[in-house]
Amino acid sequence: LSGCPVPILILHAKDDPLVPFRLGAQLAESLRMNSPVQFVSFEADRGYRHNFIHTAPEMPEIVRKFVADCTT
């Protein structure tokens, strides 16, 4: 991804048991050198873990805003 200068949206739950949260944050930071990156985190108490971020009530608005930012 580092050679791909397009907007990137990263969604990461702080209670993800498969990919440590710090690695998601590091990925976002490293990609910012070449691409606009939006990093959205979800608190552990929401219980999204690795597979359930898509159920967040605010997800449609997050995606809508990201797409709008990409097309303006």
pLDDT at 2: 64
pLDDT at 66: 97
Position 11: which residue type?
L
HSE-up of residue 47 (Cα within 13 Å, Cβ side): 0
pLDDT at 1: 67
Position 21: which residue type?
F
- pLDDT digit string, tens, across residues 6-34: 899 999 999 999 999 999 999 999 999 88
pLDDT at 54: 97
pLDDT at 45: 97
Is the pLDDT score of 5 beyond 90?
no
Confidence (pTM): 0.88
